[in-house]
Structure 1
Amino acid sequence: MRKIKEQYTMNNNRRKFLQVSALLGAGAFLPTGLVSAAESFAKLKKFGIQLYSVKEDMAKDAAGTMRKLAGFGYKQFEGFDGGKGILWGMSPAECKDLLKDTGVDFISSHANVFKDLDAQAEQAAEVGMKYLICPYIGAQKTVDDWKKIADRFNDAGKTLKKHGLKFAYHNHAYTFEKLDGQLPQDILMNNTDPKLVDFELDMYWAYVAGFDPLAYVAKFPGRFTLCHVKDAEAAGSDAHDRGVLLGKGEIPYVDIIKQSKKYGMEYFVVEQERFVNTNPLEAAERNASYLSNLSL
């Protein structure tokens, strides 16, 4: 993991050196105001949050919680079925009114994609979602089992296509653990139809499994259109227990976010599952502040 971080640091330092050199060279010919503007790097204009990050607050007051998140600067929501359906008990009309009032897009939802998919897709499409996402499938015993899972993903993708949506799969660490010499994530990538199936890369799970998230996105350009952005502290005894606030860990998100866009990444979705000296809403606000002030 140290090698991954060192490589990022070396590449990023070189890139910054070239950028600063170019700015200094141009500075001799630019007015002071223009030099200052040139030194300001681009910002991430839109980013989202997986509502599971504030699941207790959502259970108490879904609409009120979503309004608070919008106030923090989130422009996109990714939902989950917390027992009240993917719209949290709201009708599509009520949900659309809320989205209009807050200026937020409901881009996707984690869902049980193998049950009542048509009904869920109708609701999702009505509020403008683009994806329904399988959040967990569990480790499989054989390579053939993983190929069968890929077939199920293709079938789900066909169903969602009829509703104008697309299917995506969200990984955990187990798809990055080799089985009979093969990587389950590779099996899924190679046995699903790109026209029907996209992927949501959980950067954290790929990273703690020992993989460079950016390198994996680059390996399959155009397949990862969404990602979960969450940070990891230095290696501990339990991969499930390394989550920290964005900017407090060792995952180099400045470079990852900037470079992954070149390979088709469109949606950057915050997810926080571990809370140290903070609560879910405070963590959501601090993570939004981090992304809002990120210079890319």
Structure 2
Amino acid sequence: MKPTNRRSFLKTAALLGTGLMVAPQLACSRPDSESTGSAASPAETLPFGIQLWTLREAFPADPRGVLRMLSELGYRQIETFEGPQGMYWGMGHTEMQSYIQSLGMKLVAGHCNIMEDFERKAAEAAEIGMSYLVSPFIGRQGSIDDYKRYAEIFNERGEICRREGIRFAYHNHEYTFDETFDGQLPQEVLMRDTDPDLVSFEIDIYWVVTGGADPLYWIENHPGRFTLCHVKDRADVAPDVLRASTVLGTGTVDFKTLLPAAKENGMEYFFVEQEEYDGTTPTDAVRKNAEFMRSLELFS
């Protein structure tokens, strides 16, 4: 997700007029391990999901239609985010999960404001069988002590989640990788000062690369800590360009090496995300990204 304009999230669906819904012939007919009536087994293939922020402009106007389209394209896991209508987009937590399940998908995780009404959010997520609540963004901090304070907050939120039988995670941006304070990297401090029994991490591959770091190094050197990821590619542009996400397989990230290594080191969930569209439409982007994921041995 993007560290800009999340707070000014659009309530309208400008993209509905550009052909958001796909024709049936574009739908993925391959059975998947988490779809109802699936012929595949977990040993044969892994499911992959999507962070709904990818379709942030269209989703509020027609949540059910967008979810149906995603199911037809082969996405099997959903990570929602908290917008003007909450994490469940006016449907309520039980209704949204029930509808997602009727499509052969599962609502796995949600990005939310962890500073407001978090106990209620954790209880509702647990009630419908979600696995994670995720802190999506804390912003660039002014000192290493600021990051240490966030580590304390994460531990507290993790304890709330543990009481409900779910997990808490933090989703990174570039700012925890691209500067140090007194020789200390913020990402390392957040991981060092949080209890592994309480706090997991969702690695946003794009933002690690944008921050000048190697996601493979972080995954292999912190086995079991990164349990979710955003599968997001970065275009071959200058390092100081922040906004350069692109269709999977057309950028600079070696997913064929990275994702199997992530699985071997404890990765549980793989959520596709794209923020810019290179002149194409979000519909084409999510279709192409699903095709790329199915082209990988891990998901084929």
Q: TM-score under structure 2 normalisation?
A: 0.82
2:52–2:80 contact (8 Å) kept in structure 1: yes
**1:227 and 2:229 correspond:** yes
Q: Within 5 Å, which residues of 2 pair with 1:3-14?
A: none
- Name the residue aligned to 2:71: 70
2:271 alignment partner, SS class: strand
CA contact (8 A) 1:95 1:127 kept: no
Q: Which runs of 5+ in 2 are unaligned?
A: 1-42
Amino acid aligned to 1:81: E
Correspondences of 1:1-296 after superposition (within 5 Å): 45-177=46-178, 178-236=180-238, 238-296=240-298
Rounded to whole Å, the distance in 1 between the matches of 2:257 and 2:269 is: 15
Specify the SS of the correspondent of 2:200.
Answer: strand
For residues 124-148 of structure 1, give each alpha carbon's deviation from its aligned partner in whole angstroms, at most 9, with x where no partner exists.
1122211100000011111111111
Residue deviations 1:185-242 (CA, integer Å, cap 9, x gap): 0000000000000000000111122211011111111000001111111132643222
Distance in structure 2 (CA, Å) of the matches to 1:244 and 1:100: 29
8 A Cα contact 2:50 2:78, kept in partner: yes
Distance in 2, matches of 1:237 and 1:104, equals 37
Between the two proteins, what is the percent identity of the paired residues?
Answer: 43
| Secondary structure at 2:58 match in 1 | helix
Q: Which moved more, 1:189-198 or 1:275-284?
A: 275-284
2:216–2:258 CA contact under 8 A, matched in 1: yes
Q: Which amino acid aligns with 2:146?
A: D
Report the AA paired with residue 155 of structure 1.
E
- For residues 97 and 297 of structure 2, what CA distance do their matches in structure 1 show? 32
Mapped to 1, the partners of 2:147 and 2:107 lie a distance apart of 30
- Pairwise CA RMSD of aligned residues? 1.4
For residues 184 and 67 of structure 1, do their structure 2 counterparts lie closer, same or farther at Cα, with a shift above 3 Å needed?
Answer: same
- 1:11-60: CA deviations, max 9, x gaps? xxxxxxxxxxxxxxxxxxxxxxxxxxxxxxx9752111000100111111
AA at the equivalent of 2:198: L
Rounded Cα–Cα distance in structure 2 between residues aligned with 1:141 and 1:100? 43
DSSP-derived class of the 2:220 partner: helix
Output the CA distance in 2 between the equivalents of 1:44 and 1:114: 37
Question: TM-score by structure 1 length?
Answer: 0.83
Please tell me whether the aligned partners of residues 44 and 291 of structure 1 are also in contact (alpha carbons under 8 angstroms).
Answer: no
Instruction: For residue 215 of structure 1, give the secondary structure of its aligned residue in structure 2.
Output: helix
Instruction: Name the SS of the counterpart of 2:164 in structure 1.
Output: coil
Q: Which amino acid aligns with 1:50?
A: Q
> Is the 1:114–1:156 contact (alpha carbons within 8 Å) kept by the matching residues of 2?
no
Q: How much does 1:75 deviate? A: 0.5
* Whole-Å separation in 1 of the counterparts to 2:183 and 2:47: 39
Deviation at 1:279, TM superposition (A): 1.3
Q: CA deviation at 1:252?
A: 0.1
Return the alpha-carbon distance in structure 1 between the equivalents of residues 87 and 213 of structure 2: 31
DSSP-derived class of the 2:229 partner = strand
Unaligned runs of 5+ in 1: 1-41
Q: Which protein is bigger by CA-based radius of gyration?
A: 1
How many residue pairs get aligned? The number is: 255
